[in-house]
Amino acid sequence: MDRPQMVMRDRILFPDTSFPFTASTTEGVHPGFQRLHWHQTLEINYIRSGSGYYLINGMKIPFEEGDLLFINSNDLHRAFETKSLQMDIMMFEPSLLAIDLKYDPDLMRPFREAGVYLSHVIKHDEPITSELVPLFHRMMEENRNREAAFMSLVRADLIRFLGLTNRYLHKTPQQAVQLQVKQRGMHALRKVLHTMELNLSYGWTLNELADLAHLSPSRFSALFHQTVGTSPLNYLIQLRLTQAMHLLETTDMKITGIAEECGFRNLSNFNRLFKLHIGLSPSELRGQS
């Protein structure tokens, strides 16, 4: 039976390929299984309620109700919930505004310079949010209702949203944000994460993972924890359990086979970790499918 491999770069599917824009609302984030990921699309989040934080390229970005967050193409990011999190997520391809960049090359500045010279977040108490949030809600509603000319209206509001954001950032003194993780280290870490996901059944050791990144085990562990929010071997367990959940829900493989394929050599250990992290045993989860 062919099964899709886990891949590091997310492929975002749009309802209409001629209009690369999508928007959705999420309830909460499971911290153990919101894996570190990246994608080609640009992303804007609005925090409807609750609080949490992002790890973006090794930087911890706290957020709370009313905040707006900007995530650039290829940013390594992972979200965590701290309290009753509900957020709207808007994603689009840069090509959507390609024509407009001819007239305003700085239109993408809120993404391009996020984490370098600008913050990833506009806080809820900043004056510009009174103009940006209604625009954001209007785009969400147009995309949801999909009435006549909704594409034109979403695109027009998106241009205004980014234009106002850029104007505000130009007027507001910004303290340069220092990149906390060197690009060379980030590139090495991306390769390690990708290798881990494609080889879940292998019995990785910390030294082997550090060797892939050409770093000492202590330096690799520090870089990994800063970027991912947990240790390399704990994250490997999370990846394995996530894949095990997928196989339990979508295949008729025996539980012993799933455990082995996902890198668990001991069935009792697999059952124990699964129950600890998922809250159900593997057989109980399969029974719900």
- Domains (ranges, CATH) in the chain? 9-171 (2.60.120.280), 183-288 (1.10.10.60)
Report the distance separating Cα 157 and Cα 138, nearest Å: 8
217-232 confidence digits (pLDDT tens): 999 998 888 888 889 9
pTM of the complete model? 0.74
pLDDT tens digit sequence for 216-273: 999 999 888 888 888 999 889 988 988 898 899 889 999 999 999 999 999 999 999 9
Average pLDDT, the chain: 86
**Kind of pairing, strands 38-39 and 9-10?**
parallel
Q: What is the mean pLDDT of residues 131-142?
A: 98
Question: In this structure, what DSSP letter does residue 46 have?
Answer: E
Provide the pLDDT for residue 253. 93
The residues with which 63 forms a beta bridge, in sequence order, are 52
Contacts of 85 (CB under 8 A, 6+ apart): 26, 27, 28, 29, 47, 49, 50, 51, 52
Short-list 123, 104, 106, CA closest to 63? 123
What pLDDT, in 10s, does the model give residues 41-71? Answer: 999 999 999 999 998 887 889 999 999 999 9
Cα 243 to its chain centre, rounded Å, is 18
What 3-state class would DSSP assign to 200? coil
* pLDDT tens per residue across span 175-206: 555 544 555 567 778 888 889 988 999 999 99
